[in-house]
Structure 1
Amino acid sequence: MKLKHISHLQEYSNCKLFGLAPDNEEIYCFELTNKNGMKVQLTNYGATVTSIQIPALDGKMTDVVLGFDNPDAYIASYNLPNAPYFGTTVGRYAGRINKGRFTLNDKTFELVENNNGNALHGGKIGFGQKIWDVTDLNGQLVTFHLISENLDENYPGQLHVFLTYTLTEENELKLEYKATTTEDTVINLTHHSYFNLNGHDADVLDQEIFIDADKMLETNNESIPTGKFTVLDGHDFDFRTAKNCPASIDNSFVINTDVAIAAHLLSPKNNLKMSVYTDQPSVHIYVGGNCFDVLKGKENVNYTPISGICFETQNFPDAPNHDHFPSSVLKKGDEYQQTTIYKFENIN
């Protein structure tokens, strides 16, 4: 059911009208809370996280993700030379697909090219620019639903996507994705929050990152995977020993199998830690772009290229064009499933 069709919105105390889309369709915001005082705010425009507020040991709240105060700003951000995708759900395919082209079942599909002749993050109008339905809602959970029609951005198959955000009592934000298709297709969904454990008005350079990966994808000068891997022994981007965030990074790390924690971010200043758990084969780390030094964010804050860091848990970019990469094919009759958890802890 579409939430806007529910006649008694006052029944949902954690749901409010956020604003209107250009076609006057209503956009809503939602707030999830737990017994510890943690708050997560989301909108059904793009199934987007707009705020994550973490209570410190002294009770002070820290908003640890970048975002905007209103839907107009989110909508306008997609018209920038490089959209930031603040907090959004990326699909149908996260990352780049070389030349916007792939072959499936002996048929070649020419996708919409939106990044130097390549397809990026689902095309010109990806999932982050769509208004999702809401099928379930309570104080600690919201489920968004989207129908992506056959040949949306030239991807085959009508895709039904469900994404449930759950805020647990352990200060975990749990993301559970499910999808089915009417035809064989490719899919790679991810979450695109820019995290900053010192608050969204600071930079991330004094925060430490750990990634349980001993290799990352090798890419060319257009950030397209070559099919080879870069071994991280002795590399500046070997984060198996935690080190400070670099000022610029845009790389996919191959997560070691059967690890407890794929990655974590630590703020020595705030004594706050975020751990990332996922069942996906990689985490794409991104810092250093798409903020233009003048991008006005929440609470009148100017965001810069070092204001946040993304932990995009996903399959490999360009996997449809590399047989030795994990398969990104979703067959008709099968179900795509993915789970990612961001857990926040105060460290003494």
Structure 2
Amino acid sequence: MHFSQIDHPKNVNSFGILPDGKEVLCYTLQNKNGMELSVINYGGTITSLKFPLSNQEKIDVVLGFDSLADYIASYDLPNAPYFGAVIGRFAGRINQATFSLNGKEINLTKNHGVHQLHGGVKGFSQQFWKVKKISEGDYPSITLEYISLHLEENYPGILMAEVTYMLTESNQVIVEFHAHSTEDTLLNLTQHSYFNLDGHQGNVTNQDLIIHSTSVLTTDEENIPSGLLMDLKKGAFDFSNAKKVPIAIDNTFPLTENQKVAAVLTSEQHNLKMTVLTDQPAVHIYVGGNCFGQIKGKEAVAYHPESGICFETQNYPDAPNHKNFPSAVLKKGKHYHHQTIFAFETL
């Protein structure tokens, strides 16, 4: 059964007004176990994810802001956090903001020095998404749509993109992307939530991390991939066995073919475990969340460089500039599909 915000006002609240006058709404989904997921249609952003603990308390395990104004202002921080947003058209960096497609050089907008990061000056994370469908029942879900116009951030083709967030009975958050384009284009979508299983007020470096990868992309001093992979065995980023979340990590870990489990995060404090499953070629893992004392997070929390950890399931950064990387080209009329699952369980 589908319902609208008019039918169920208790599940929908105003979250603020954009400069162009559009109202942003916050939609809250809840499964039968009491797990709650809140999403706004600015950036297709997850603003909160509350998990019920055994003592009836709910813990919010993602970082975010209390107001639309703060989300907008966060893109002017020295290092924009992209809290909870959909990243597109291309997640990660593109070297020199340039790539070739069908023999033609395409120069994208630059928003990270001479490079492009996370889709450009105003990527999908800063766009108004249309809510297409909301479903209730055992698997509550919301589907949002964004139409990216031809040459937006200089990407070719009109791109129709959808993201669906679903809560399952088994406490999984399923994120599913679908897209198609009117022309050959580049596409690499991801979900950019920062997780902290001790609660968004905590420090993520107290938690245990496993990464199901045997290699890592090597990069230069600007974090641009070299095109080479480095074996992880017994190296600093060998997380084949559980280790504490590192203070500094901003790296891409290739996943083996048909592999589902990308990473596992565990909190001893709350006996809570999150498993990240995906059909994507890699997971980019980043620890951060610093708001530089300029913006307060939810509940007036001062986020710092170890506030949360991102699991950006995606293609390789700078993929179009490396022939040995998986292709990120979406052909005209072809269908893009991406599924990632964040599965929660108590231990």
Instruction: Flag whether TM exceeds 0.5 (same fold).
Output: yes
Match status 1:279 vs 2:279: yes
Identity %: 51
Aligned length: 342
When the two structures are superposed, what TM-score results if normalisation uses the length of structure 1?
0.96
Aligned counterpart, 1:265: 265
Distance 2:135 2:23 in 1: 20
1:294 deviates by 5.1
Distance 1:166 1:150, change over 3 A: same
Partner letter of residue 46 of structure 1? G
Aligned counterpart, 1:204: 204
Match status 1:20 vs 2:14: no
Partner letter of residue 162 of structure 1? E
Match status 1:40 vs 2:37: yes
Distance 1:45 1:203 in 2: 27
Q: Is the 8 A contact 1:85 1:192 kept in 2?
A: yes
Partner letter of residue 292 of structure 1? F
Aligned counterpart, 2:66: 69
Distance 1:227 1:50 in 2: 35
Distance 1:291 1:73 in 2: 10
Structure 1: segments with no counterpart, 5+ residues: none
Partner letter of residue 74 of structure 1? Y
Distance 1:290 1:214 in 2: 29
1:292 deviates by 2.1
1:14 deviates by 1.5
1:290 deviates by 4.1
Distance 1:105 1:169 in 2: 45
Q: Is the 8 A contact 2:181 2:331 kept in 1?
A: yes
Distance 1:147 1:279 in 2: 24
Match status 1:135 vs 2:132: yes
Aligned counterpart, 1:56: 53
Distance 1:39 1:149 in 2: 33
Aligned counterpart, 2:219: 219
Q: What secondary structure sits across from 1:74 in the alignment?
A: helix
Q: Is the 8 A contact 2:70 2:295 kept in 1?
A: no
Aligned positions of 1:1-348 closer than 5 A? 9-139=6-136, 140-288=140-288, 290-293=290-293, 295-347=295-347
Partner letter of residue 9 of structure 1? I
Which runs of structure 1 show a deviation greater than 4 angstroms over 4 or more consecutive aligned residues?
Answer: none
1:58 deviates by 1.8
Partner letter of residue 335 of structure 2? E
Partner letter of residue 55 of structure 1? P
Distance 1:260 1:48 in 2: 24
Partner letter of residue 170 of structure 2? E
1:59 deviates by 1.7
Partner letter of residue 254 of structure 1? P
Q: Is the 8 A contact 1:295 1:304 kept in 2?
A: no
1:302 deviates by 0.5
1:38 deviates by 0.3
Distance 2:270 2:101 in 1: 48
Q: What secondary structure sits across from 1:262 in the alignment?
A: strand
